[in-house]
Every structure is written in structure tokens, then in C-alpha cells.
Chains A and B, each alone.
Chain A
């Protein structure tokens, strides 16, 4: 008997065609939505600063969706069946080997000769996407310098190899993020780069908001979410005392999701917090004791 193998289910998009189709859940903490909306309306580039797992990327996704709802541009390939406009989101994870060619594009050889292929930055500029450079300080400064003509009044992308200059689509916006705590003295944004953005600072949400987020993202009960939010506050007090970063909202959500799978709270905390946050034995034990006190 032949067994039918299930087909792998995945979806592949062209980078500039990726849109956030469904509203992502995002719980505003302050006026960051209004700030980003205002910056987008004025096409002012945005710099997001904050610790890991506090919601920066989710925020960008949310804003890509929300701002897409507000646009009225007639481009068929970006229209959803409902007729709403959507704003593509192009995300690039920066690293120190990222070159200008990786961002802008390069000529490739194929059997028919050469052809130019646009890099993700060029595609975002042409299609009017939000270009999100994550951990931008990881990239070399000779690479990040590329964004300068895009981030001032010119909104231009020079493509030297083609002898061309591309004017950004009106909908294009550049957004970058980084975590200020990670930085060594050798990696930092140059003032000439930094001063091309407005900055929105993120931090872990206040406990009552964080509890809402945990509950919504995991499906756990309100009481469990409140307990985990309180636990997060306690563990974050260990920043500067051995922990480079406190427990992120992301990790707390992982704990809650494991709990909905039937794990006990303490076991879920052990694998998602104690063992994830540090390898130092004393610190692990201390965090475990805090877990033991807060969680029944």
C-alpha cells in the first residue's frame, strides 16, 4: 500500500512582496504608534532602541499592517482580495559581513550572459516598502553609510554599478533597530548616521500590560499571566548583577505557552528562564529560588 506523504506546507514570497496580511497583536505601551505614524506620514526614518524580546519587531510588523490599511495606491500586486492596500515589509538582519552589494545588488552571470539583480534595499526602495534593518550596529560602518542618502531629504539610492540613482517610492520608509546594552566601544552608530533618525525607546512593558500580552500570546489564564509578569520584574532586577539582560517578554511567553501544553509552571520556568538566561550556576540557582517563591 502506498502511503500518501503530506506535502510540505510553506509559502515563499519575493522579498518585496511580503506583506503583513493579518493584523498582528500588538499592545501599545505609550504613544509609540502615534509617533511611528507621524514619522511615517512625514517620511522621517525611525530608530527603535530596546532590549531583546521587548516587542520592537512585532511593533514594526504591526505598523506595516496598520499603515498599509491607510494607503490608497493602486498597485494590483499589493492589493489583498478585500481591496485594502498593504505595505510591504522588507527585513534585513545585519551582521558584520554584510556588504554594500548584499544590500544594493550585483551583476550575476548566467547562461545567457549577465543580469543585474536588485538587492533587498533596492527592492524596498522601488516598491515602497518599509525597510527594517535589525541590529543595525552589527553591520560595518562602510555598509551603513549607504543609508545616508535614503535618510535625508533626498531619499535617493545611488547604484554606482549601474550608473543609476533611484528615487524612493513615496511609500518607502527606513526603520532600524538595535539594543544599546550590547554595544562594545567598537560598535556604535556614528553621529552622522544616528542623527538621521527619530528614536523610539522600548523597554519591557509595565506588569499589567505585560500580563495582557502574555495571556493573549499564549492562551494561559489571567492569573498565570500576572504571576509571570511579576516574575519578569523580579528577574530583571538582576540586570547589572550578572545578567546582561533580564527575562524578556518573549521568554515569559514561552513559559506560558509551555504551561498550556501541560508543563508545570516551575518546570516551564526552568527550561525557558533559568537555563536560557545564564550558564552561571549561582545565578541559575538564584533565579530558580525566585521562581520558587513567586510561582506555586
Chain B
């Protein structure tokens, strides 16, 4: 019985995340449209190798485990090491073959429960290897290394005159199967293997064929390149023309910015799976790479001034911005313009409630169920429904002790008013126009696959799902009676942060609010710090005992000129963090909810010990948003 990836993708995603300790996307290997921007595991759409569903699922598990092993047991830059050898291309191929075998050995040791499935996959892979009878000696030896990596050390058909070399290489492979081996060891082993092979007669400049792939090890990313850290140059001879598109300017530094936690930690390659597509793209089109790589060269959209701004129009406000490198605020740096959204049609609001009708019922019931909990029994009152027995006894005891008794000996039920005010701040940046992938209709392959952005994508966008979620949340908030405001933000540049009023804190919910929600659309950039500060200025004066700022976003903060230096991403994250800290100092509890699956990369720095949540599956946003609010306030 076959296993369809879409049925098990969620389970495998969590499985890979558990093993790797970092978020890993699980994607369909046949989806040529995907552009992963986080570690990715590619699996086949349908697996039907065996009769039993269990065996087919085990095959997928083996594939996923092997690909995750590159994150778990792999990961350091080997470019420097390999660039020192005379034949870096051969060295890299040797490295790839040896590393795959090393990872399998680690999997066998670390995951004994998977041993049987892995061994079966290895046996099948061995039986599918082609003949090397007519191959050149170098090609044959590389193929033998693949077989050794699959566990075959006996009856290997070594080419004539190469037996000693094969024995030496076998010893190298066995050494790499030690539980303490690392990628560094594999790189050194590859260099050593080059040395061994250089002594083969006539092999100095021999042509050879790269060994064919092993199916269960995955081929989606072709090979993992363990890229150098930012700023290092890559040698032309390492990349080689035979595998990659002709690089027009290989002396250009590969300027890829890394998150701090990606530098130098064991088990985390320098963004290898992440950066391979970017790397290939940079080689193909360096001008596009320069525009997209933040911090590469001079900032492209700098407004070029250091002037403080002045609010000259009604509804405009200026705020400072935190410069983490200077450890100081830039005074009056951002100008926020507040707009009340125009009114559209109530259709999108009503459509949201219709679309999520069943969920709405559940949400309403859950929120209404909170209310009876708020009918507290208050004891020790001067008047009430009945005697509070404890208080009455104590009063009697006090009388006996000749102590004036307390007259508060009654209790009653009463509605405890929730004293909560919440401000929901919705990111309306351009990225929210991205279509949703989760509800893409199933399409037959491959004829209908059209240009990028066509087949396989829904017409609904992230912003649409966010609007639906807000509609549900509003219904929940109306049910429970908390004070709330719904706002959006976007803008372009420090002098153009737009702050949109969907429902003000003081406004009542009515048809105007529904029509304003219809006008929520993707706009421009995301200067979060300024938007948060303006939101705080609205929420802080509220008299509620509990004030919550709920930030709903789909990505990291970024904007034109959100720094004058090259480290824009870090600057934006730090300024946002500062704004959140400021909100807490004003008695507000901030919380960030993002649908950006790579959110963990920057949210830890952006939020610190402030609560945040990354939604792995954006489709759960309508259900999650109200429940998150409930969890925060009960």
C-alpha cells in the first residue's frame, strides 16, 4: 500500500525537527517551484516500493533521517581544505562519497530502531549499482567507495593493479565509521584518498565519471556544498565548469549573511542546504545576488540624511529608533502616519465567518465557557446569598475569645469583570501577498506544471488567511467583552511608516469595522520598531489591569534604509527587540505570533524572553489565534 507524502508530511516534519533540533522543511522532491530558504528534506510524492504501508513509510523515514544527518552529524566548511589540493574536483567527489557513508554509519549507531530499515535500503541500493567491469580505474574505485559506504567490504572487484590502493581506501572508510568522526575527518580523508589515488599509474589527470546517486540518500539538493563563511573567495578550480553554470565573476566574494547561531557550531553546516540554491543563483546572476544579499556593498536605498523628523501633519507622530551598534537611540528618527482604513465591503468578513463556520462555533463556545469561570464566589462579605461557614465560625470563635468579630460572614456569586485590553498589530507588508501553498489543489504531473506562480499555488494569500483569523478573533473578543483594538502597519522608509486603524480601542464593533477589514491589503515594508512604539502609545493609557500587545507577522522586520550600515537585518531585529522591551516597561505584555517558518532564526534575538510562537502550518492560524489569546489571558 503506497504512502502519499502529503498524508505524512506533518508527521515527518516534526520527526525531522526532533532529530535535527532545528526547523526543517519537508518538501516534495518533484516540486521544481520550491525555493527553500531553510534546511530542507526532499521526499518523493508517492512511495510504493513495497507491499506494506509500514515498509513504505520506513523507506521515507530512512530518506528523511539521512538528509537530516547532514545537519545533525555534518557541518563545517571544507572549502579551505579542499582548495589546497591539486585536484579539488576529485577531492570534492571523494568527500561527498565518504561523507555519505560516514553519515550512514552515524545513523546506524544513533538510531538503532532504524537499523533494519537502513540495512534493507543499503542492500537494495547495492543490488542496483551498475557494473564497473569496463569503467576506468578511477571511476571503478570511486564506485567501490560508494559500495563500502553502503556496508560492502568483501568481494569488491578491484581494478587490476589497484588492489593496494583499494585496501588503503577501505581502511580510510572504516576509520570514518567511528562514532567520533566529523566532517573535518571526512575532508582530511578525502585529501588522503586523493594522495592514495595519485600513486595509481596514469591517474594524475585521468577523466572519471562521478558515481551515480544512491536513491535513499536523496537527490533533491544534488550535493550539499559546505560553503565558506561570509567573505571568503571560492576557487574556480573547486567549483569547476563540469558541474555548475559558468561563473562570470568568481573573484566576487560570496557575501551571504548568516544568523549568529550558524557560525561554527557542530552539527550545523554553514547554511549548506539553505545556501546551495542561493549560491548557484549567485553564480548564474551576480547582479540579482548583489541586490538581494543584504549588506553587500553600499546600502541601496539609503535616504542619506541624519536629520530628525518633525510631525507636520495631523495624525503623524515621531519616534526614536534604537541603534544597537551605537548603543543609543536615534532621536526622532521615524515618522508614523496614522490612517483609518477606508471602508470596503463586508463580504470578506462575512466570507471568513462562513468559511470557518464550524471553527467559529468552537471558538465562541470556548470563549463563552470562560465567562462562567468568571462568576466567582466571593466570600467574606457583609451581605450575600448565604453564610460563609468558615467566616461565620471564625466570627463565633472570635466572640468566644472576646475579640470583636468580623461582620463579613456572607458569600455570593458575582460576575468578575475581566480587565483585559489587547491591541492586535497586523503586519501588512508586501510579503503577505505570497499565495498560500497549503491548500493548493492536487494536480496531475507533470503536464500542467506551468510557469512559476501558476500551478500548485492557491489564489488565497497569506493576508487573506490573516484577515480571516482576525475576523474570528474579533468574534471571540466580542463574546468575552475584552477591550480590543485591531491595527495594521507597513510603510516605506523611516519617514513613511503607515499605521492603519482597523478598529480603534475605543470603537465599538459594528459594520464599519467589517468593511474596513475588507481594505486590509499587502502594502510595502515592515519597520516593526516604529509601529510597535506607536501601538504602545495607544495601549499604555488604557486603564485595564492586563494589557497585551499581540504582533502578528509573516516575516522579519525589514525596510528601506533600516540602518545605514550593512548589517540591516541585525539592526532591524535589535530595534524591534528594544521596542518590545519598552512596551513591557509600560506595563504591557507583548507576544509575537509569526507564520514565518524560519522565524526561530531571528525571533529568539528579537523577542528574548518575550513570548513568541512560530506557526509551522499557516493553515492553522484561524484556529490558533483565538486559542492563543485565550491561553494568554486565562
Contacts and interface: CB of A to CB of B under 8 A. Distances in A.
Given A234-B19, A286-B18, 18 more contacts: A106-B390, A107-B393, A109-B396, A113-B400, A184-B631, A185-B548, A185-B589, A186-B633, A234-B18, A237-B21, A241-B14, A241-B23, A286-B10, A286-B11, A286-B12, A290-B15, A293-B61, A293-B65
Among all A-B residue pairs, the 5 with the closest Cβ atoms: A286-B14, A107-B397, A114-B397, A296-B112, A185-B589
B242 interface: no
A229 to B, nearest CB: 13
Interface string A163-189: 000000000000000000000111000
Nearest to B391: A101
A235 interface: yes
B546 A293 contact: no
A294 interface: yes
B19 A290 contact: yes
A180 B113 CA distance: 35
A240 interface: yes
A234 B61 CA distance: 15
Contacts of B17: 237-238, 241
Interface in B105-139: 110-115
B397 A292 contact: no
A237 B21 CA distance: 5
B543 interface: no
A167 to B, nearest CB: 23
Tell me the interface secondary structure of chain A in the complex. helix
Interface residues of A, number: 35
B401 A107 contact: yes
Interface of B: 10-15, 17-21, 23, 61, 65, 110-115, 390, 393-394, 396-398, 400-401, 403, 420, 546, 548, 589, 600, 613-614, 616, 631-634
A282 B10 CA distance: 7
A119 to B, nearest CB: 13
Contacts, number: 100
A285 interface: yes
A209 interface: no
Contacts of A241: 14, 17, 23, 614, 616
Interface string A217-260: 00000000001001001110110111000000000000000000
Nearest to A296: B112
B14 A282 contact: yes
A283 interface: yes
A272 to B, nearest CB: 17
A79 B21 CA distance: 50
Contacts of B600: 240
Given A289-B61, A293-B61, A238 B401 contact: no
Contacts of B13: 286
Contacts of B634: 184, 186
A108 interface: yes
Contact of B14 (A109, A227, A242, A294): A242
A98 interface: no
A285 B11 contact: yes
A273 interface: no
